[in-house]
Amino acid sequence: MDAQVRNRYMQAMGIPVWMPKDSRVQEEVGEVQEVVPDIKRPPPSPIPVSFDCSYMDWQQLRTAVQSCARCDISKTRTQTVFGAGNQQAPWMVIGEAPGAEEDRQGEPFVGKAGQLLNNMLLAIGMPRETVYIANVLKCRPPNNRDPKPDEAANCRGYLERQIELVNPSLILVVGRIAAQNLLQTTEPLARLRLKQHLAPLSGKPVVVTYHPAYLLRQPADKRKAWQDLLFAREVFSQYASTPH
Please tell me the predicted confidence (pLDDT) of residue 48. Answer: 41
What is the identity of the amino acid at 184? Answer: Q
Neighbours of 238 (CB within 10 A): 14
Q: For 47, left (φ over 0), alpha (ψ -120 to 50), or beta?
A: beta
Q: Is 93 exposed, middle or buried (0-12, 13-18, 19+ CB in 10 A)?
A: buried
Q: Which domains does the chain have, with CATH numbers?
A: 3-15+39-240 (3.40.470.10)
10-residue stretch averages of pLDDT, the chain, 244 residues long:
64 65 41 46 43 91 95 94 97 96 95 95 95 97 92 94 97 97 96 96 94 96 97 92 70
Buried b or exposed e, range 154-171, using 16+ CB within 10 angstroms = bbbbbbbbbbebbebbbb
Report the DSSP beta bridge partners of residue 207: 172
Angle at 206 (CA atoms; ends 194, 25), nearest 5 degrees: 35
Please tell me the predicted confidence (pLDDT) of residue 18. Answer: 60
Please tell me the predicted confidence (pLDDT) of residue 51. Answer: 72
CA distance 217 to 215: 5
CA distance 5 to 97: 32
Please tell me the predicted confidence (pLDDT) of residue 234. Answer: 96
For residue 96, CA distances in Å to 9, 68, 141, 240 come to 25, 18, 10, 26
Please tell me the predicted confidence (pLDDT) of residue 15. Answer: 72
State in Å, rounded, how far the first CA of the chain is from the last one. 27
pTM of the model: 0.82
Strands 205-209 and 170-174: parallel
Please tell me the predicted confidence (pLDDT) of residue 108. Answer: 96
